[in-house]
Amino acid sequence: MIRLFYFFCPILSLAFSGMLRAETFNYMVIQNQARPLQIEEYNQNHRGIATEIVYALFDGSEYRLNVNTLPFNKLITDLTTSRYSNWITIGSPSWGGIQAENLTRIPLLNVEHRILVNQTDDFKYSHRSDIDDKTIILLEGFDYPGLDEYIADKRLRVIRVKNFSSAFKLLERLGNRACFIEMDLRIKYNQKLLSISKEKFKSQSFSSMISNYNVHLALDPAIRSELKVFIDERLKQLSDQGSIKQILSKYQ
């Protein structure tokens, strides 16, 4: 028996070392604010455009995936200070910071921003100076490339809110004095989620101020090159198979 034990021990050792070498990725989810890109309910029932694509990336692979849900500011701090290794989250070259440093080659989707006002407001947007007399409602923690620079130069009145429910309520309360600026995809999804009638507000394209841009997956800058290659290749496969389009269609 002793001889048999020593005979099998190296095999068991190799098996366990293989298990220990299996890479773990940390998928970072923004709490409450990123719907429909990332959707969660009290850190459970994770879904959404980016989340479903990430799940598809690792389906059937040798890698493990941990899902971590954090408030936006805490998430950015933890990524910047390298608290998590091999992390993945949503990012864009237009956002700047840690979410723009190491992006996948293939984007998940292209986004358009729109300006939302009350239905009774006869406001028409054609030039950036048109918003000078408006109170601008924005989501807390997010970047708005093009608009942020204009706000800083003009010192416009801006109110930051934590979620879409607060944004819609504030827009309604302020009446024709205010506007809400956000991604078209996210406005529509959250109006539907909160059972807000499409007729309550009206929107116009805001692309002349915030150009349409791509959203990618952002990766840990310290990730090994072969792991990034794996993610890029899997994303290409999903794109070529039409899987990404299929996921997008569920949230549009």
Q: What is the CATH number of the domain that holds 75?
A: 3.40.190.10
Both 99 and 220 in one domain: the answer is yes
Instruction: Summarize the confidence of residues 39-57 as an average pLDDT.
Output: 94
Residues paired with residue 201 on neighbouring β-strands, in sequence order: 118
Residues 214 and 107 sit within 8 Å (Cβ to Cβ): yes
Provide the residue range defining the domain that includes 71.
Answer: 11-109+213-249
Residue 18 has pLDDT above 60, yes or no: no
Tokens 């990618």, residue? Answer: 216
Residues 54 and 88 sit within 8 Å (Cβ to Cβ): yes
Number of structural domains (the chain) is: 2
Nearest residue to 114 (alpha-carbon basis) of 30, 40, 194, 198:
198
Both 168 and 222 in one domain: the answer is no
Give the H/E segment covering residue 26.
strand 24-30
Both 30 and 57 in one domain: the answer is yes
* Residue 88 resides in a domain: yes
Both 224 and 104 in one domain: the answer is yes
* Residue 56 resides in a domain: yes
The confidence score (pLDDT) of residue 27 equals 98
Both 157 and 225 in one domain: the answer is no
Residue 114 has pLDDT above 50, yes or no: yes
Residue 7 burial (CB count, 10 A): 9
Both 193 and 227 in one domain: the answer is no
Q: How far apart are CA 145 and CA 163, in angstroms?
A: 19
Note the pLDDT tens digit of each residue in 119-152.
Answer: 999 999 999 999 998 999 999 888 898 999 999 9
Both 29 and 154 in one domain: the answer is no
* Residue 95 resides in a domain: yes
The confidence score (pLDDT) of residue 142 equals 84
* Residue 3 resides in a domain: no
Both 157 and 235 in one domain: the answer is no
